[in-house]
Structure 1
Amino acid sequence: MLKNHFIACIAVSLCLFSSCISRLSRPAITGTILDYQNKPVIGCKVGETITDANGKFHLKELRYSKFFIPEIFMMEAPPLHFSEIIKKEGFLSYNIEGHTPFGGGQGKGAAASVDTIYLKRINEVLNTKDYIYTNWKFAANKNLDTLYGTNANFRLQNSVTNNRNFVEKIQYGLMYKFHATKKPDTAWSAESHDLKTTYWVALKTNGTFTGKKLREYQNPWKHRMEYDRTYRESYVIPADSINTKGKFSFLKDQIVFDEAFNKAKNTYKIDSIDRDVIVLTKKSTN
């Protein structure tokens, strides 16, 4: 009897160790590939598939198996990271990328849509007028000397229309030190902290613009001189914003905003522009 019980236990243990759990390697991905003239890019390679006559593609969900017991000891789902290349002769290449810290634990049927991706032809020359009139989100420095703009088509991973330096500018590189003039109470130390400025601007073909300038204070007074029962979180300075509307003129590689943009009249040179991004540099008044 004991022998049979022992054999049964061994059999159950072997089943547990040999049983597997399904993990996600890549969700099903759908999307559309167009060129800069909004025409479908037919026969474009996307991972292991190609686009159809409408520029659409579908990548199947990929999964893998892991032993059940080791996964239980991990105490958390594995990370998910995938990267699929988009390649077509005559166009610049592009990668679809995704990363989620615990995304590998998603159940069967996981899916993602990348909407529309625009591919740029090699050596394609853009007409600025075709792209300037849209809604731009600018990351700016304190005096709005340089504006790094993105529109709704912008993708962080899009190597076609941006580079790492540009991404660092719009995310981290344009914060500047704000020095506090007062402190909430005696429990806080006087500090300086980062201030981030963002300017939403919609340029219209009739020469008018609407905008909203937002200033956000990053983690102010995060560290206190003493921790007491009254405060359990860092002190927060509310973000402040200004709504604006005015006029602008566009001449060749320059944009001139009126005083509503930033007090004084501003002339900006278009350093670079693409379908998704634009860089403006304020010209000196001297």
Structure 2
Amino acid sequence: MAETKKTEWNNNQDKELEILDEAKIMKKPKKVPLKQRENVIEIKNLDFFYNHGEKQALFNINMKIKENTVTAFIGPSGCGKSTLLRTINRMNDLVDGTIIDGEVMVNDFNIYEAGTDVVKLRTQVGMVFQKANPFPMSIYDNVAFGPRNQGVKDKNALNQIVEDALKKAALWDNVKDFLKDSALGLSGGQQQRLCIARAIAMRPKILLMDEPTSALDPIATLKVEELILKLKEEYTIVIVTHSMAQATRVSDYTGFFLQGELVEFDRTKKIFTNPKDKKTEDYISGRFG
């Protein structure tokens, strides 16, 4: 009799768990199809010049980038893809003699309007560079550097920010017992993920990555690519890459650039299987570049 009651109780428990699981599934938000996602970056009629207008690097660029996607910029060296990437958080302002004409809208605001808070912009639009550039300080201090500069002084808050950023960068388990060690002692791949964690700690909405794996070995490259695919659930990511294979692995959309012009911009699968422009087809098939 007792055994029968026990069996009935177990069966009821299983049914309750099934109901709970169904409720979780019902409440879990569905992923919004790519076509229905909001545009978080809109580039309109953009021309860009170096040397006080003597050298034009970008010609009439128009592009819309959707939230929670990965967009790859591809093309041969010197085609303007890194220049365009740096316009999205005004990093080109640091180069003397640059001139820009057109609009770069980030969340419906033209970031080149007079009076734009560039420091705030670069907080919202983080940047990861081609070569890992950790500061010559501890792993902890690298990640806490930005929040501290923003005025976060509470140690518990800083600890949480550092832990969260390192977890999101898939580095926490590797370094949690060595946070006070120098960041320069990490491997190249770990240093790059630390730089991603440092950007994440500023709680941006957008992450720009300028060839983030070009200096890494294949294993470290794979880890960063896996990280990018995970991060797009929370961030909008724009990546410059020389690797067409990488573009196919990580991106939802791809823009092909040639001599400062955006030749073609579409879903990555379409770009690589059925491009509209012969120049795109020639590039991805290895006929030039």
Q: TM-score, normalised by structure 1?
A: 0.21
**Structure showing greater relative contact order (alpha-carbon pairs closer than 8 Å, 6 or more residues apart):** 2
Higher Rg of the two aligned structures: 1
Q: TM-score, normalised by structure 2?
A: 0.21
Give the number of the structure whose residues are more often strand, by fraction.
Answer: 1
